[in-house]
Structure 1
Amino acid sequence: MQRMFEGFDFTNFWEDSEYALKEYVSEMPSDELIASVEQELGYKLPASYIWLMKQHNGGIPVNTCFPTDQTTSWADDHVAITGIFGIGREKAYSLCGEFGSQFMIEEWEYPAIGVAICDCPSAGHDMIFLDYRECGPDGEPKVVHVDQEWDYKITPLSDSFEKFIRGLVNEEDFELED
């Protein structure tokens, strides 16, 4: 079996601000919690996502942008995230938290294509989802950007959660082009 995130340096990955710790970061998830969250959401979470959440359960990464080859409501060439939802229920921005995946689907009418895993700086007007439409609820989901402002347009980002995390870049990479 392939090792998760082999060769990837997480040393300066997380921005552990007071806000991040209060709103996003949960205690390390137990196997029982992971199973109950998966049951509640109706989807098996990717092994790479579970692995990362067992290292640091949710939070705000230092690198918050993901390059795209399609224009979105955020930018011509990238999307931005505010944070990554942890596995849990206690934090507002966790998978089953107050502003978690089901909230986005039920209250904001996002398409029920999978699991919302990252919020974006638009305060709910776009989100990053694990997209299970092709693989089914037990498969390896793709990562997509869903744009409420553009009639819930779905923009593919990555074939896997691990590739999504590896592809995050710093916002400064885009500031020069503005």
Structure 2
Amino acid sequence: MPPFESFDFSSFWKTSDYATREYVDVTPNAETLAEVEKRLGYKLPAAYVALAGNQNGGMPIKTAHRTDAPTSWAQDHVAITGIYSIGWEKANSLCGSFGSQFWIEEWGYPDIGIYFADCPSAGHDMLCLDYRSCGPAGDPSVVHVDQEFDFKITAVAPSFEAFIGSLEDGANFDID
């Protein structure tokens, strides 16, 4: 079954000038996808590519995902600001100025995969496609990496598609 076959994207993305300026890029073609994967050293999950076919990067309306372990953000969830586009033109794209390699090289995040979503903490925690168990061509899980807790890695979702499908409204949670 193709990724997101029954997913309704009509109310997934938040529209804003900031999202358009910092995250949203044109739909990637095969050449762009190949170049991004080459630069990153990983094959992107089919679900990530499918999401970019709907809209390539942006700020989702639902920004919270439940966790089984506490993080520096909350006891029971993580929050994201935006999802990086496939490309290098936007600052918040996978290969952009604040892309995956930036977090590894400049902030010291562990080199375990692709950092694809930033959090409201402005860099003190990130979401990552974790390729440690599947290898660079496999289907990665999603983890939260917490710079504030010595780069603690917390499992979030078994796949990117599961992550997107389980995002919730942040108002469902108490951040105290």
Check if 1:101 corresponds to 2:100: yes
Task: Show the counterpart of 2:85.
Answer: 86
Runs ≥4 in structure 1, deviation > 2 angstroms? none
Superposition TM-score, scaled by structure 1 size: 0.97
Q: How does 1:92-171 map to 2 (within 5 A)?
A: 92-171=91-170
CA contact (8 A) 2:4 2:50 kept: no
Task: Supply the RMSD in Å over aligned alpha carbons.
Answer: 0.9
User: How many Å apart are 1:170 and its aligned residue?
Assistant: 0.3
Structure 1 residue identity aligned to 2:34: A
Task: Show the counterpart of 1:70.
Answer: 69
2:39 counterpart SS class: helix
User: How many Å apart are 1:9 and its aligned residue?
Assistant: 1.0
User: How many Å apart are 1:145 and its aligned residue?
Assistant: 0.1
Between Structure 1 and Structure 2, how many residues are aligned? Answer: 176
User: How many Å apart are 1:4 and its aligned residue?
Assistant: 1.3
Structure 2 residue identity aligned to 1:140: D
Q: Take 1:173 and 1:10, find their aligned partners in 2: how far apart are those partners? A: 20
Q: Take 1:100 and 1:8, find their aligned partners in 2: how far apart are those partners? A: 27
Task: Show the counterpart of 1:10.
Answer: 9
Q: Take 1:8 and 1:55, find their aligned partners in 2: how far apart are those partners? A: 11
1:66 counterpart SS class: strand
Q: Where in structure 1 are there 5+ consecutive unaligned residues? A: none
Q: Take 2:32 and 2:13, find their aligned partners in 1: how far apart are those partners? A: 23
Structure 2 residue identity aligned to 1:48: A
User: How many Å apart are 1:56 and its aligned residue?
Assistant: 0.2
Q: Where in structure 2 are there 5+ consecutive unaligned residues? A: none
Task: Show the counterpart of 1:43.
Answer: 42
Structure 2 residue identity aligned to 1:74: W
% identical equivalent positions: 60
